[in-house]
Amino acid sequence: MCLAIPARIESIDEDRVASVDIMGVKRQIAVDLVPKAQIGDYVLVHAGYGIEIVSEEFAQETIDLIREFPELAMDGAL
């Protein structure tokens, strides 16, 4: 339940809602908790909110991990 999944920010609107790409799926997330996040950054996403900015390399590793262990991402962690 506490899993967070990396996503790349593609745009941010004036309401601090960002469009992101999470493993190929487009979603809207809020970036209230990562005020420094910018377009192109990867953020860890937990339940629709960015909670930390992470490196692209780490993001990619985690995405691979989730592909391997999809059960880690179950139950609405995305």
Partner 1 sequence: MSTSFLDSFRDPALAKDLVFSIEKLAESLGRPINIMEVCGTHTVAIARSGFRSVMPENIRLISGPGCPVCVTANKDIDEMIAMTRLPEVTVATFGDMIRVPGSSTSLLARKSEGADVQVVYSPLDAINLAKANPERQIVFIGVGFETTTPLIAATLERVAALNLENFSVIGAHKRVPLALEVLVNDPQVTLDALILPGHVSTILGVEPYEFLSSQYGIPGAITGFEPVDVLQGIAMLLEQLHRGEAQIQIAYMRGVREEGNPTARAAIDRMFEISDATWRGLGAIPGSGYRIRDEYARYDAKRRFELEVEKTIEPKGCRCGDVLRGVISPNGCPLFGKVCVPENPVGPCMVSSEGSCAAYYRYQVQD
Q: Which of 13, 21, 67, 69 binds partner 1 (CB under 8 A)?
A: 69
Q: Yes or no: say if 42 and 7 are a contact pair by the CB < 8 Å rule.
A: yes
**What stretches of 1-78 show up as alpha helix (H) in DSSP?**
56-68
Total residues belonging to the chain: 78
Shortest spacing between CB 31 and partner 1, in angstroms = 10
Q: Which of 21, 46, 63, 67 binds partner 1 (CB under 8 A)?
A: 46
Type of residue numbered 61: E
Give bridge partners of residue 8 from the DSSP assignment.
21, 42
Residues lying near partner 1 in the complex (CB under 8 A) are found at 1-4, 17, 28-30, 32-35, 44, 46-49, 51-52, 54-55, 57-58, 61-62, 64-65, 69, 71-72, 74-76, 78
